[in-house]
Amino acid sequence: MPEFQHSPGMRDILPPDSGRWRQFQAVFAQVVEAAGYGEVMPPLMEDLGVFQRVGEATDVVTKEMYDFTDRGGRHVSLRPECTASVCRIFAQHRPITPWKVFYAGPNFRYEKPQRGRFRQFDQVGIEVLGADDPYLDVEVIALAWEFYQRLGLRQVKLLLNSLGELDDRTRYEASLAEYFNDNLERLSPESRITLTKNPLRVLDSKRAGDAAVLADAPRIASFYGADAAANFEAVQQGLTDLGIPFTIDTALVRGLDYYRRTTFEFQGGTLDSAQNALGGGGRYDGLVESLGGPATHGIGFALGLDRTLLACDDEGVFGAPNKTVDVFVVDTTGGQEALRITAQLRAAGISADRAFENRSMKSQMKGADRSGAPLAIIVGSNELEAGYVVIRPLRGEDVQRSVARDTLISEVIKALQTAPKEATQ
């Protein structure tokens, strides 16, 4: 074992997995850019206060922050999520609204590492600031849905709820607190502690012992005023219009005071419950204000890359891309000709790799096979002298051909059109 390995909860992403990650982000960018979202790139680190404003009562903020004092005496933190940063950016730059942005990248949380849970993990997400319209809520949900479809996932479930307007929510919270206090003996000790901080978050409990008391708890739907009910109805109608199936889950709450109206979550159809939350989001008010900006409506979601890829594995879709070069150059004359040929091929848009260290023909051919390239170009001293190269297909039935050196590019293009690409395994 070498002395150093990555820290717990961190990972080294090697090829071909790294190609899968990049492709994941690329598909996401395509989906949301096609709907008018531009990429925002928040810094990896912010003043601690940016994250504290967002969720003083959450585990993410109280227990999981990678915060430290920098050499200038500033109390900063690696970002545990991106919504807070996006709101801080909005407050600082005041872009024209509605501001539709997406992001992709790592976040950091000091959590207990386990399957699908890491200390550095990637998310993709969108936020829209400065617009309040149920059809925007539908657009946001539909984009996440479209993304899952593009990955090939067919078993993702959309759970939907509305937290109502602030007033509705406040009355609901009071009623919930009263109900749980009347039933304290039926609540797990952990949930009793949660109750003292935020009764809504008790509904998040996945503990089996809490199931019965949660099942009888008051439901938010009975607290909706006319506005909230009409708004929720419009969101459901919009989703139905687009053919997006959903299940209403009245226990789907977001504990922070900022959240109101639409909330949603995506669950993998095949994963067990500890990893089945692929992502989620909702509508919020007041975040931008709390960061010094104007009163601004917001809605967004964040989707976790790891759990989504686990769901892809379970459904057998979106595998690691089979990245291979088009051509592998074998040169037994010292390597300078390979240098020229690879440069010429790459300049013509043909991807090319080569062997180094002037190894034997046999060893270089092994490298060619391992590269997965469909074609090898072989140069020996005879070819070099006579102005020829050999093009050898590495898979399938075709036989090798000698071609004049100065027709190399056109001959390679021709050969690539007929060469079988996929390695037969």
Contact positions vs ligand AMP (CB under 6 A): 81, 109, 111, 116-118, 121, 123, 277-280, 302, 304, 306-307
**Measured from the CB of residue 143, what is the shortest distance to ligand AMP in angstroms?**
15
**Measured from the CB of residue 118, what is the shortest distance to ligand AMP in angstroms?**
4
CB nearer to ligand AMP: give 118 or 258: 118
Beta strands in 308-351 (DSSP E): 327-331
Please name the residues in contact with 222: beta carbons below 8 A apart, sequence gap of 6 or more: none
Phi then psi dihedrals of residue 405, to 5 deg: -55, -40
Q: Where are the alpha helices (DSSP H) in 183-274?
A: 189-197, 199-202, 211-215, 226-241
**Measured from the CB of residue 114, what is the shortest distance to ligand AMP in angstroms?**
9
**Measured from the CB of residue 267, what is the shortest distance to ligand AMP in angstroms?**
9
CB nearer to ligand AMP: give 122 or 331: 122
Supply 363's token pair: 């060893």
CB nearer to ligand AMP: give 125 or 367: 125
CB nearer to ligand AMP: give 64 or 289: 64
**Measured from the CB of residue 80, what is the shortest distance to ligand AMP in angstroms?**
8
CB nearer to ligand AMP: give 64 or 133: 64
Residue among 33, 12, 4, 253 at smallest CA distance from 124: 33
* CA separation for the pair 31, 59 (Å, rounded): 32
CB nearer to ligand AMP: give 275 or 296: 275
Residue type for position 297: H
**Measured from the CB of residue 119, what is the shortest distance to ligand AMP in angstroms?**
7
- What are the angstrom distances between the C-alpha of 272 and each of 43, 59, 156, 181, 361? 33, 22, 13, 31, 51
**Measured from the CB of residue 85, what is the shortest distance to ligand AMP in angstroms?**
12
CB nearer to ligand AMP: give 53 or 307: 307
**Measured from the CB of residue 105, what is the shortest distance to ligand AMP in angstroms?**
12
CB nearer to ligand AMP: give 124 or 345: 124
CB nearer to ligand AMP: give 34 or 274: 274
Do 376 and 352 meet the contact criterion of CB atoms below 8 Å apart?
A: no
**Measured from the CB of residue 60, what is the shortest distance to ligand AMP in angstroms?**
7
Q: What one-character-per-residue DSSP string does 339-379 give?
A: HHHHHHHHHTT--EEE--TT--HHHHHHHHHHHT-SEEEEE
- What are the angstrom distances between the C-alpha of 45 and each of 71, 73, 82, 224? 14, 14, 10, 39
Closest residue to ligand AMP in the complex (CB): 304
* CA separation for the pair 29, 42 (Å, rounded): 16
**Measured from the CB of residue 276, what is the shortest distance to ligand AMP in angstroms?**
9
CA–CA–CA angle 128, 130, 134 (5° rounding):
70
CB nearer to ligand AMP: give 122 or 411: 122
* CA separation for the pair 288, 299 (Å, rounded): 12
Residue among 250, 246, 182 at smallest CA distance from 215: 250
CB nearer to ligand AMP: give 28 or 223: 28
How many CB atoms lie under 10 A from the CB of residue 366?
Answer: 13
Supply 131's token pair: 């617009």
**Measured from the CB of residue 83, what is the shortest distance to ligand AMP in angstroms?**
8
Q: What one-character-per-residue DSSP string does 38-103 give?
A: EE----SEEEHHHHHHH-TTSHHHHT---EEE-TTS-EEEE-S-SHHHHHHHHHHH-PPSSEEEEE
* CA separation for the pair 191, 398 (Å, rounded): 69
